[in-house]
Structure 1
Amino acid sequence: MSVRTNRPRRRLLTSMAAVFAAGAFVVGCTSNEPEEEEAPAAETGGGDDAGAGSGNDEPGETVVIGFSGPEADHGWLAAVNDSAIAEAESYEDVELRTAEGTNDANLQISQIETFINEGVDAIVLLPTDGAQLTEVAIRAMEAGIPVVNVDREFSSPFAARATILGDNHGMGISAGTYACQLIEDNDIQDPVIAEIAGIDALPLTQDRSAGFAEALEACGQTVDNRVAAEFTVESGEEQAANLLQAAPQIDIIWNHDDDQGVGVKQAFDNAGRDEFFFIGGAGSSNAMQWIQDGEMEATILYPPTQAADGIRLARLIAQNKGMSDLVQVEVPRRIVLNAPVVNADNVEDYLHLGFDS
């Protein structure tokens, strides 16, 4: 049996998370970090004349960019790596040197040291562990090689020229705000809300859960049942089955991760449970297909394009360009991407961002 969205819905703006942007915080920020202005990622950058309409996509001086990311053992990570490579290939003035994906921090450190020794023009780095890669990133910066930090933040502001992040706290805010809207639209009395988190020890999971709880609190609700999985299909199925056994009636379930959501959905089908609104997280192709088929209410996007955006920023920085949609003449130091709600109203706009689980 499939989970179905059989209650009426009201169209919701996908940019609801923007309401909370002013208060959102970013994973991994350190208290001694200087405050930086956040700016939206531009579709195209800006040229030497920092005005809209400048020709940043026009070929410029060829730059060599080193890219290092974790092992693609998760659908989202594979999409991150693939999007970075594809973005680099779209520019004739970018030579990309890609290190083999690894979950070994020491190996990744040696990869960055190789980039430093080769004298690349910029480095785009999604670290296995931000703290462990901080020192080598600082060495790259001291060698005059700008580093673009992606997704997992370094522990020093001196380790990166620019940082581009997804918004984990914002994901929770979006999911909770959407849940509140569903409760209001469907006049659900005393709703039972469940949460299937990822790995609880990770700051990203803690931030997603914190945002979800904060948004629910705004409409007088709390999480009634919660389990934590491990971002895998197997753990998703196991923990979702445990959740269903513990809660005979549920109105809304938010699952943090669409990769583990494959197992979560299987557990729903195995139990024959379809009485709830099912909200996912990250934006996999599976989730978007389920939304189109009426088997899932929504998913909260965690952009898999972060490293691709990192490639664009590295190119601009290495070519001494700015961003065309900003008056500021230089690339910002920090960019936090939005975490929009993707539902039946707008799923076609986001299909191209879906990744295979």
Structure 2
Amino acid sequence: MFFATVSRPSALALGAGAFALLAGAANAAPLVKECGKDGKFVIGFSQANNAEPYRQHVNDELTAAAAKVPQFTLQIADGAGNVNTQTSQMDNFITQKVDLILISPFEASPLTPVVARAMKAGIPVIELDRKTVGDPGKDYTAFIGGDNFKIAQEAGKYVAGKLLPDGGEVAVLEGLPSSTPAVERLNGFKDGVKANDKIQVVAEQAADWLPDKAQTAFAAMLQAHPNIKAVYASNDMMAAGARLAAKGAGKKDGDIQILGTDGLPGPAGGIRAVAEGEWAATFTYPTGGPQAIDMAKAILLDCAESVPTTVTVPTTAITPDNAKSMMGK
């Protein structure tokens, strides 16, 4: 990697072309006061909840990416699904005067003030996967993540065109309603299925990303609407819960088309579930970890004067056509 300051905007490729950083004008100041390739830097990551498999996947990819940068020390704090815990951890990072903060906020509004405090203290804040209230580039440094609305919209279109071309009743299991991905995925899916006016969304309920709540919720949905033909779960864990509910209702795999979101690897992940015919599809939600470390390198090592305020990491649809080939990747 290199960094060059020139008299006009130039592109800096990061992470095998993952995204480009735009260099500012020659007289612009770096985003941080202390930076340079010879420095040593501490990056604090406030994770929403280490207990979720997706969150652990994020931690693993961040840790692996940071380990490749000798100048970086990564500290991961588990928010444990509690905004007060996560706020306290963020305040600790500010007190420690870490050089950069990454955060996946458990909820948007309650964590907005502490992000503002970090920015006021001169610490860049990169938000991963979930956003606080405000605008990237102003209220926080940048957002890195997938486009939740588009990912869910693709799932809806897949149901409308591929799975249920003749229409039918479908249901939605929403994540934690106070988190931005939950709202965006709910709205995206409902928009996607509009492509087929024969499809009816007959039930939608929040299950807070949790498989046991999803199982309970979907069991109740099936009692009220026994003809449901497909269910979209806003994460893989809830899709697993939905399958258990379908089994409990006497359904065989394939009787109800189950769709997840995350596309997690491993024996408990969505890729395997699709490959083995348990689910109809899942849609990968990239962690953004490698991109976040690339951005940290630009800010802390290369003394970047500006970074992209939003970095959208693309998704991949995992279907029976490609699931087996994606196993182990």
The TM tier, using the shorter chain, reads 0.7 to 0.9
Aligned mates of 2:22, 2:187 — CA distance in 1 = 42
Tell me the distance in 2 between the aligned counterparts of 1:115 and 1:175. Answer: 38
Q: Is 1:223 aligned to residue 203 of structure 2?
A: no
Q: CA deviation at 1:45?
A: 6.6
Q: 1:96 to 1:349 in 2, by over 3 A?
A: farther
Q: 2:228 aligns with which of 219, 242, 250?
A: 250
Q: Does 1:160 align with 2:143?
A: no
| 1:1-357 aligned within 5 A | 42-43=15-16, 60-61=37-38, 62-157=40-135, 158-183=138-163, 188-200=165-177, 202-228=179-205, 229-274=207-252, 275-285=255-265, 286-303=269-286, 305-320=287-302, 330-348=306-324, 350-351=326-327
Residue 31 (structure 2) aligns with: none
Measured in 1, the distance between the counterparts of 2:125 and 2:170 equals 42
Counterpart CA distance in 2 for 1:48 and 1:331 is 5
2:28 is matched with none
CA distance in 2, matches of 1:236, 1:156: 31
Q: Is the 8 A contact 2:107 2:179 kept in 1?
A: no
In the alignment, the residues of structure 2 paired with residue 311 and residue 225 of structure 1 have an alpha-carbon distance, to the nearest angstrom, of 42
Bigger drift between 65-74 and 194-203 goes to 194-203
Q: 1:210 to 1:105 in 2, by over 3 A?
A: closer
- Kept in 2, the 8 Å contact 1:146–1:314? The answer is no
Distance 2:143 2:21 in 1: 21
Write the distance in 2 (CA, Å) between the matches of 1:277 and 1:109.
39
Q: TM-score, normalised by structure 1?
A: 0.72
Shift of the 48–95 alpha-carbon distance from structure 1 to 2, 3 Å rule, reads: same
Q: Which runs of 5+ in 2 are unaligned?
A: 1-12, 24-35
Q: Is the Cα contact below 8 Å between 2:147 and 2:313 reproduced in 1?
A: yes
Cα distance in 2, alignment partners of residues 46 and 179 from structure 1 = 31
Q: Is the CA contact (8 Å cut-off) linking 1:126 and 1:149 kept in structure 2?
A: yes
Contact 2:176 2:209 in 1 (8 A): yes
1:139 deviation in Å? 3.0
Q: Alignment partner of 2:132: what SS?
A: coil
Unaligned runs of 5+ in 1: 1-39, 51-58, 323-328
How far apart in 2 are the matches of 1:41 and 1:300?
25
Deviation at 1:207, TM superposition (A): 2.1
8 Å CA contact 2:19–2:311 kept in 1: the answer is no
Alignment: residue pair count: 296
Which whole-Å deviations, capped at 9, do the CAs of 1:140-168 have from their partners, x for residues lacking one?
Answer: 32333211112221223333211113322
Q: In structure 1, what is the Cα distance between the partners aligned to 2:168 and 2:278?
A: 20
Deviations 1:180-219 (A, max 9, x none): 2215xx7x43433332333445443332221112122133
Could you give the per-residue CA deviations for residues 4-43 of structure 1, whole angstroms, max 9, x where no partner exists? xxxxxxxxxxxxxxxxxxxxxxxxxxxxxxxxxxxx9854
Q: Sequence identity, in percent?
A: 27
Please tell me the residue identity of whatever aligns with 2:109.
Answer: A
Structure 1 position 307, deviation (Å): 4.0
Q: 1:85 Cα shift?
A: 2.1
Contact 2:154 2:189 in 1 (8 A): yes
Q: Distance between the aligned counterparts of 2:112 and 2:175, measured in 1?
A: 25
CA distance in 1: counterparts of 2:84 and 2:17, whole angstroms = 35
